[in-house]
A and B are shown apart, each in its own frame.
Chain A
Amino acid sequence: MSGVSNVDGVVGGAVIQASGLVKRYGELEAVKGIDLEVRAGEIFGFLGPNGAGKSTTISILCTLLSPTAGTARVAGIDVAFDPAGVRQRIGLVFQDPSLDDQLTGRENLEFHAFIYAVPAAVRRQRIDEMLALVQLADRASSQVKTYSGGMKRRLEIARGMLHQPQVLFLDEPTLGLDPQTRQSIWAHLNELRRSKGITIFMTTHYMDEAEYCDRIAIIDQGKIVALGTPDELKAMVGGDVVTITSSRPEDAAREIEEILGVTPARDNGTLRMEVPDGKAFVPRLVRELIAPVDTVSMHRPSLDDVFLKLTGRAIRDEEASTRDQNRTMANRFMGRRR
């Protein structure tokens, strides 16, 4: 038996392979040549700000959009050649809710089982198993409109898993959920990976969530700018991140550069620098600087710092959170709760 096998739907351990993916909308190039490989059984995170091309890429991989150029194979099947074959082998959890909230949780799963050709003999057992896995068994016969946002998300995850896909795609699975609920969604995803050995591909713009992933691709302006484990990525920053504020930032910046030999990045009154040994650097900084230093802080590099280093910008969490709020308000207005 050959290691390269179509029956397995997996070629050499890679469940997703994309090369040279491009998506153009007229003048706008949303995705500008993406190559990536996702291995069987890993949690792969796609991290980037809104509008970076995350959703477009995930849509191409899920066969919801066709690429302008490039190829992608998911579960061993070419997305352009056999979209239905790919869809049968993947589970999808969309950014926006896609449940029928007049139906019960169980009815939503039954509907899914029918359109994904889950054999009648195992339908009921599989539904029960999935409901138990996301801890919704006791609420299975309540209408979905009575569910909380986190419960709906869990039900969607259960639904995505019902036809035993090889890859579960999640587009911003925790968007608009409160921190506690986000934690619990993650606990369920980890449990799924552990008990089912499923590959998970997800997009997020929450830096703290990306830490849970085995590997992360950072995407900015339609291109992957870095790919690796969270630790590998953080090692790119090197040492510690020191941030100071000063009422005379220009002078402070010049002095730091001349005296300490470090070029700080400026953001209004804030100066930010990466140094090998922060503990030794901070006392020197305070001693040597003539310009006033108002506050000093130091931290181990986070993925935020990685992103900042690679793109020169912070992921605008502010913008993201207003978007969340708008979404929540819009949902409330439409009579949906998440």
Chain B
Amino acid sequence: MSVNAVTAPNATAPAQHAPADTRMATLRAIYIIWYRDLLRYWRDRWRLVASLAQPLLFLVVFGSGLSSALGRGTLFGTSGGISYIQFMYPGIIGMAILFTAIFGAMSIVWDREFGFLKEVLVAPIDRSAVAIGKALGSTTQAMIQGLILLVLAPFVGVKLSVLTVLTMIPLAAVLAFGLSSFGVALASSMKSLQGFQVVMNFLMMPMFFLSGALFPLTGLPGWMTVLTRLDPASYGIDPLRRVVLSNSGLPGSVVDRLGLTINGQVLPIPLEAGIVFAFGAVMLGIAVVMFQRRD
């Protein structure tokens, strides 16, 4: 009995439990989950085009319509001539990021429904990789969507310098990360596609309307002021707008007047970005814990 030990195919494979190995395995898993999301995003080009239709519709139709109506108002049109469409433009970038990030993260629910999630969950990897990989995947998709919209700037009369664009990219990335993590946290507890409509109507749309993407968050009724300040997207869209408007040569006082304030205080851009990032980190933490619990 001592000699004829059964030789299995895997007999010489070392046990894979050294900490460094585990860390590498987790990183590899994060990478491939992220890569798969991008591959799917790239492959589904119709969805890519279709998801640009909505922001464009807002910009061109809604924006032009309101621009003419508001053109002679006190806020827009005066003080150095900013049109509503210029005001709205960074907000629409924020909207594209909001929708793409949350939709992208919610694809976890699809993966669960169509069985693929099982392949990932039974793998010998730390499940935090699922949450992190998905969050990064949606972040990247949302970033791409936002960058495509940057190209439209000249068509809506927004002048962007190279520096502006370079400032906007990290700000957009933070917003995309915060919202993607939020989406992953939502999706981690969602067992069926039914919850999806609920999220769409009761979370995404309110988040969009309250984010200051379409109107300045000043002089609002009290209840609405509170809600807009609770919306994480507000803190992500405001910095984008400040950067864009400052670059259009608008005086700082006007930019501040259109911006997000708390108790009348203007928030510095790094603080706003910090708030969004912290929100994302907390949400990602929740998602990791949710995935690590065994079903």
- Which A residues fall within an 8 A CB radius of B? 1-3, 5, 7-10, 12-13, 15, 40, 62-64, 66, 75, 84-85, 87-89, 92, 94, 96-103, 107, 110-112, 114-117, 143, 159, 164-166, 196-198, 334, 336
Residue of B nearest to A88 (CB): B124
* Interchain nearest-CB distance for A269 vs B (Å): 44
A84, closest chain B residue (CB)? B124
The residue on B at minimum CB distance from A100 is B116
Interface contacts (Cβ under 8 Å), in number, total 117
The minimal Cβ–Cβ distance linking B71 to chain A, given in whole angstroms, is 46
Whether A164 lies near B40 (C-beta < 8 A) is no
Query: Which residues between 83 and 124 of chain B lie within 8 Å of chain A, taking CB atoms?
Result: 111, 113-116, 118-120, 122-124
Q: Is there an interface contact between A197 and B11, defined as CB atoms closer than 8 Å? A: no
Asked if B16 contacts A117 (CB within 8 A), the reply is yes
| B116 engages A3 (CB within 8 Å) | no
Which residues of the partner chain A approach B11 to less than 8 Å between Cβ atoms?
Answer: 7-9
Contact present for A40 and B8 (CB under 8 Å): yes
Would you call B119 and A98 a contact (CB within 8 A)? yes
Q: What residues of chain A lie closer than 8 Å to B5, measured between beta carbons?
A: 1-3, 5, 8, 10
Where chain A touches its partner, the secondary structure class is: loop
5 cross-chain CB contacts under 8 A: A96-B115, A97-B115, A100-B116, A102-B43, A102-B44
- Contact of B124 (CB < 8 Å), options: A116, A164, A166: A116
Chain B residues near A89: list those with CB within 8 A: 10
Contact segment of B29-37, B61-69, B236-244: B29-37
A335: nearest chain-B partner, CB-CB = B114
Do A115 and B28 touch (CB < 8 A)? yes
Which of A62, A85, A336 is B15 in contact with, Cβ under 8 Å?
A: A85
B252 CB, nearest partner CB in chain A, Å = 48
Cβ–Cβ < 8 Å partners of B25 in chain A: 117
Q: Is B7 an interface residue (CB 8 A)?
A: yes
A97: B residues at CB distance < 8 A: 114-115
Please, which residues of chain A bring their CB within 8 A of the CB of B119? Answer: 98-99, 111-112, 159
User: Do B44 and A8 have beta carbons less than 8 Å apart?
Assistant: no
A-facing residues in B1-39 (Cβ within 8 Å): 1-13, 15-17, 21, 25, 28-29, 31-32, 36, 39
| Residue from B3, B40, B122 having most chain A Cβ neighbours under 10 A | B122
On whether A166 and B9 interact (CB within 8 A), knowing A84-B124, A115-B125, the answer reads yes
Q: How distant is the Cα of A159 from the Cα of B114 in the complex, in angstroms?
A: 17
Q: In the complex, which of the residues B15, B31, B44, B294 contacts A114, with contact meaning CB atoms closer than 8 Å? A: B31
- Give the shortest distance, in Å, between A100 (CB) and chain B (any CB): 5
Q: Nearest chain B CB to A279's CB is how many angstroms away?
A: 46
Q: Tell me the bound Cα distance from A114 to B16 in angstroms.
A: 14
Give the chain B neighbours of A101 by CB distance below 8 A. Answer: 114
Complex Cα spacing A196 to B8, Å: 10
The answer to whether B115 and A94 have CB atoms under 8 Å apart is: yes
Most B C-beta atoms less than 10 A away, residue of A62, A100, A112, A196: A100
A8 B8 Cβ-Cβ under 8 A:
yes
- Given A62-B122, A85-B124, A115-B123: A13 touches B6 (CB 8 Å cut-off): yes
Do the beta carbons of A102 and B8 come within 8 Å of each other?
A: no
B41 → A minimal CB distance (Å)? 10
B118-162 to A contact mask, C-beta < 8 Å, 1/0 = 111011110001000000000000000000000000000000000
Given the interface contacts A2-B2, A98-B115, A102-B40, does A75 sit within 8 Å of B8 by beta carbon?
Answer: yes
* Cβ of A290 to closest chain B Cβ, rounded Å: 59
* Closest Cβ neighbor of B24 among chain A residues: A117
What residues on B are CB-neighbors of A111 within 8 Å?
32, 36, 119
The residue of chain A having its C-beta at the shortest distance from the C-beta of B294 within the complex is A66
Interchain CB contact under 8 A, B31 and A336: no
Chain B residues with CB under 8 A of A94: 115, 118
Contact partners of B111 in chain A: CB under 8 A: 100
Tell me the minimal C-beta distance from A162 to chain B in angstroms: 12
Q: Is the pair A164, B36 in contact by a Cβ cutoff of 8 Å?
A: no
> Which of B2, B29, B116, B124 lies in contact with A99, CB distance below 8 A?
B116
With a cutoff of 8 Å between Cβ atoms, the chain A residues found around residue B17 in the complex are 84-85
Evaluate contact between A166 and B8: CB separation under 8 angstroms.
yes
Given contacts A3-B5, A9-B11, A116-B123, 20 further A-B contacts (CB under 8 A): A2-B2, A8-B6, A12-B1, A15-B8, A63-B122, A64-B295, A84-B124, A85-B16, A88-B124, A94-B115, A98-B116, A99-B116, A100-B36, A102-B44, A107-B36, A115-B32, A115-B120, A115-B123, A166-B8, A197-B9
Query: How distant is the Cα of A2 from the Cα of B3 in the complex, in angstroms?
Result: 7
Chain A residues near B9 (CB-CB < 8 A): 164-166, 196-198
| Closest A residue, CB atoms, query B3 | A1
